[in-house]
Amino acid sequence: MKDQPAHGASRRRGGKLQVQTVTLAHGGGGKAMRDLIDDVFVAAFDNPEMGDMEDQARLMHDALRAPGAQLAFTTDSFVVSPIEFPGGDIGKIAVCGTVNDLAVGGAIPLWLSAAVIIEEGTEVALLHRIARSMRLAAQEAGVHIVTGDTKVVERGSADGVFVTTSGVGIIPPGRNLNAGRVRPGDVALVNGVLGDHGAAILAARGDMALSTTIESDCAALNRLMEAVLAAAPDTRCARDATRGGLASALNEIAEASGVGIEIAESDLPLRPEVKGVCEILGLDPLYLANEGTLVLFTPADQAEAALAAMRALEVGRDAVAIGRATADNPGSVVMTTLFGGGRIIDMLVGEQLPRIC
């Protein structure tokens, strides 16, 4: 991690952190900080690309030599509350969220950075769990966390732990996933059920005394995207339906492409438990956040191949077609309801659930 003098990664010894909670000394740049970084983060993230622990990672990849290859770069901050929730934690969501932002643009994710802001008094055991979660999520996605930073702030200046991750990937030559490429007749597909993450976070907060077994859908989707692009190479675009849910993702695509999008309420994959939570609280599941669900558009003649590719993977086993792009109502999303009427699905206004990622 940054803020440290150069030392070979193999020479960094852990096991020196003897305290149970983080103090301001762990952000001071001295021995206490080094012990925290070594025991929590270096121990979890150590890999050859971290090199000699300089203030930057030095990276090479053969894919960059291909004519027409492009670098993709993204960054995101995570402030989810609670920090740990059914199906994940802030570490898992930070890795998966950044991997997915790269993957839906057609990039092959390779490297991540991780910057962690820690509130004074945070339990070291919690940091270990978060770091282990990040390591496991990165391993499952096939990416490396190669550089990072830590800061400690006074008690009350943060809310436990905040994480910022940035990601770098490579877009192979010839790929061009862009929302502006959607055309009338293209089919809208989702890889799984909707609203699980938002419902899980809401239930985990305990404010509503909800009893539910819903878990977050938090997952990396880069392997799913590679499978789709192999089976349906003319896929137009993809969006991960995070904040603002499916409704906001579809509106972004409709606006960018100038097409109308029609979906059918009867085709939307929703768990009964999520429907129940939404009915109790007056929420719309179309706006609930997802952290392992994407929507993509393919030409009609490649839709079945894309669905089969998704269903062959665990993260895509519930994949379905939910609608299509049309020349009618350009820039708008219209849902055919269970009663046969049409309902305009607008972009989310305001914040339905704060601190969900």
- Residues, the chain, total? 357
Q: How much is the pLDDT for 46?
A: 85
Confidence bin at 58 (pLDDT 50/70/90): confident
Confidence bin at 4 (pLDDT 50/70/90): very low
What's the CATH code, domain 179-344? 3.90.650.10
Alpha carbon separation from 282 to 20, 73, 252, 288 (Å, rounded) = 42, 37, 24, 12
Q: Averaged over 316-342, what is the pLDDT?
A: 97
Question: Where do the H-state alpha helices sit in the chain?
Answer: 31-36, 43-45, 90-103, 124-141, 196-205, 222-231, 245-257, 272-281, 303-311
Q: Averaged over 226-238, what is the pLDDT?
A: 98
Q: How much is the pLDDT for 349?
A: 80
Q: How much is the pLDDT for 7?
A: 36
Whether residue 52 has pLDDT greater than 90: no
- For the chain, the structural domain boundaries read 9-171, 179-344
Tokens at residue 197, please? Answer: 């993450």
Q: Do 273 and 214 form a contact (C-beta atoms < 8 A)?
A: yes
Degrees to nearest 5, angle at CA 147 with 142 and 152? 125
What does the mean pLDDT of the chain come to?
92
Please give the Cα distance from 102 to 107 (Å, whole number): 5
Please give the Cα distance from 36 to 28 (Å, whole number): 11
**Topology of the domain covering 9-171:** 60s Ribosomal Protein L30; Chain: A; (3.30.1330)
Q: Which of 22-31, 41-50, 149-158 has the highest mean pLDDT?
A: 149-158
Same fold, 9-171 and 179-344: no
Cis upstream peptide for 82 (omega within 30°): yes
Q: Averaged over 81-93, what is the pLDDT?
A: 97
The structure's pTM equals 0.93
Question: Where do the H-state alpha helices sit in 150-239?
Answer: 196-205, 222-231
Whether residue 175 has pLDDT greater than 50: yes
Whether residue 168 has pLDDT greater than 90: yes
Confidence bin at 114 (pLDDT 50/70/90): very high
Q: Averaged over 46-60, what is the pLDDT?
A: 80
* Nearest one of 201, 234, 23 to 119, comparing CA atoms: 23
Q: Averaged over 203-220, what is the pLDDT?
A: 84
**Which residue has better confidence, 136 or 203?**
136
Span of 17-26, 71-80, 215-224, 333-342 with lowest mean pLDDT: 17-26
Q: How much is the pLDDT for 340?
A: 93
Residue-wise pLDDT for 262-278, tens only, equals 999 999 999 999 998 88
Tokens at residue 236, please? Answer: 């137009």
Confidence bin at 60 (pLDDT 50/70/90): confident
Q: How much is the pLDDT for 5?
A: 34
Confidence bin at 13 (pLDDT 50/70/90): low
